[in-house]
Structure 1
Amino acid sequence: MEDGEMYNMMKVWLSIFASLTYCYIMGKMIPRGFTRLLCVLPIVCLFLVLPLELTSIHFGGMTAFFVAWLANFKLLLFAFGKGPLCLDPKISFGRFVSVACFPIKILQIPPQKPNLNGHSHENQAQKSLLNGQDRQKLISRKGPHKSFLNYATKGLLLAMLVATYDYSDYIHPKIMWLLYCLHIYFFLETFLAMLASVVRTLSGLELEPQFNDPYLSTSLQDFWGRRWNLMVTSILRPIAYDPILYTCKNFIGRRWAQGIAILGTFLVSALMHELIFYYLGRGKPTWEITWFFLLHGVCLPVEIVLKRAVNGRWQFPRPMQTILTIGFVIATGFWLFFPPFLACKAGVRAIEEYAAVREYLKEAGHAYFPWIFQQI
Structure 2
Amino acid sequence: MESDEMQNFIKVWLAVIISLCHCYAIRNIIPIGIKRLLFVLPVVCLFLYLPINIFSPHLGGTTAFFIAWLANFKLLLFAFGKGPLSADPSISLPLFVAVSCLPIKIHKNPPPKTPLNHQNKENPPPKPYQNGQTKETPSRKPREGPLNYAIKGILVAILVRVYDYSDYIHPKIIIVLYAFHVYFLLELTLAISAALARTMLGIELEPQFNEPYLSTSLQDFWGKRWNLMVTRILHPTVYEPTRNFCARVIGREWATLPAVFGTFVVSAVMHELMFYYLGRVRPTWDITTFFLLHGFCLTAEIALKKMIKDKWQLPGLLSGILTVGFVMTTAFWLFFPKFMECRIDVRAFEEYAALGAWVRNASESALRIWQGDRPA
Equivalence for 1:233: 231
Q: Secondary structure at the match of 1:146?
A: coil
CA–CA distance in structure 2, aligned partners of residues 35 and 218 of structure 1: 45
CA–CA distance in structure 1, aligned partners of residues 85 and 63 of structure 2: 19
Pick from 322, 339, 350 the counterpart of residue 352 of structure 1. 350
> 1:312 Cα shift?
3.7
CA–CA distance in structure 2, aligned partners of residues 28 and 310 of structure 1: 50
For the 8 Å contact 1:143–1:208, the answer to whether it is kept is: no
> 1:142 Cα shift?
9.4
Equivalence for 1:328: 326
For the 8 Å contact 2:257–2:303, the answer to whether it is kept is: no
> 1:30 Cα shift?
1.2
CA–CA distance in structure 2, aligned partners of residues 145 and 34 of structure 1: 43
Q: Please tell me the residue identity of whatever aligns with 2:364.
A: H
CA–CA distance in structure 1, aligned partners of residues 203 and 294 of structure 2: 34
CA–CA distance in structure 2, aligned partners of residues 189 and 316 of structure 1: 30
CA–CA distance in structure 1, aligned partners of residues 29 and 289 of structure 2: 43
> 1:285 Cα shift?
0.8
Equivalence for 1:51: 51
Equivalence for 1:33: 33
Equivalence for 2:7: 7
Q: 1:190-229 to 2 correspondence within 5 Å? A: 190-229=188-227
For the 8 Å contact 1:142–1:208, the answer to whether it is kept is: no
Closer/same/farther in 2, CA of residues 252 and 7 from structure 1, 3 Å limit: same
Q: Please tell me the residue identity of whatever aligns with 1:87.
A: A
CA–CA distance in structure 2, aligned partners of residues 142 and 9 of structure 1: 38
TM-score, normalising length from structure 1?
A: 0.89
Closer/same/farther in 2, CA of residues 323 and 142 from structure 1, 3 Å limit: closer
> 1:152 Cα shift?
1.1
Equivalence for 2:80: 80
CA–CA distance in structure 1, aligned partners of residues 231 and 346 of structure 2: 29
Equivalence for 1:291: 289
Could you tell me which runs of 5 or more consecutive residues in structure 1 were left unpaired when the two chains were aligned: 119-139
Identity %: 58
Which gives a bigger RCO, structure 1 or 2 (Cα 8 Å, sep 6+)?
Answer: 2
CA–CA distance in structure 2, aligned partners of residues 332 and 115 of structure 1: 48
> 1:372 Cα shift?
9.2
> 1:336 Cα shift?
1.3
Equivalence for 1:125: none
> 1:171 Cα shift?
1.0
Q: Deviations over 1:150-194 (max 9, x none)?
A: 111111111111111111111111111111111111001112111
Higher mean alpha-carbon deviation, 14-23 vs 246-255, is at 246-255
Closer/same/farther in 2, CA of residues 164 and 372 from structure 1, 3 Å limit: farther
> 1:359 Cα shift?
1.0
CA–CA distance in structure 1, aligned partners of residues 281 and 3 of structure 2: 25
Q: Root-mean-square deviation (CA), in Å?
A: 2.0
Equivalence for 1:109: 109
CA–CA distance in structure 1, aligned partners of residues 141 and 87 of structure 2: 20
CA–CA distance in structure 1, aligned partners of residues 88 and 145 of structure 2: 29
CA–CA distance in structure 2, aligned partners of residues 190 and 280 of structure 1: 19
For the 8 Å contact 1:214–1:223, the answer to whether it is kept is: yes
Q: Deviations over 1:286-341 (max 9, x none)?
A: 11111100000000011122233444444333222221111111111111112322
TM-score, normalising length from structure 2?
A: 0.89
CA–CA distance in structure 1, aligned partners of residues 322 and 115 of structure 2: 47
For the 8 Å contact 1:104–1:196, the answer to whether it is kept is: yes
Closer/same/farther in 2, CA of residues 141 and 24 from structure 1, 3 Å limit: farther
For the 8 Å contact 2:141–2:210, the answer to whether it is kept is: yes
CA–CA distance in structure 1, aligned partners of residues 202 and 140 of structure 2: 18
> 1:257 Cα shift?
1.5
Closer/same/farther in 2, CA of residues 230 and 67 from structure 1, 3 Å limit: same
Equivalence for 1:92: 92
CA–CA distance in structure 1, aligned partners of residues 166 and 331 of structure 2: 20
CA–CA distance in structure 1, aligned partners of residues 61 and 38 of structure 2: 28
Q: Please tell me the residue identity of whatever aligns with 2:292.
A: L
CA–CA distance in structure 2, aligned partners of residues 241 and 312 of structure 1: 24
Higher mean alpha-carbon deviation, 243-252 vs 103-112, is at 103-112
Could you tell me which runs of 5 or more consecutive residues in structure 2 were left unpaired when the two chains were aligned: 118-137, 372-376
For the 8 Å contact 2:261–2:292, the answer to whether it is kept is: yes
Higher mean alpha-carbon deviation, 152-161 vs 69-78, is at 152-161
Equivalence for 1:182: 180
Q: Please tell me the residue identity of whatever aligns with 1:316.
A: L
Asked whether 1:366 is paired with 2:364, we answer yes
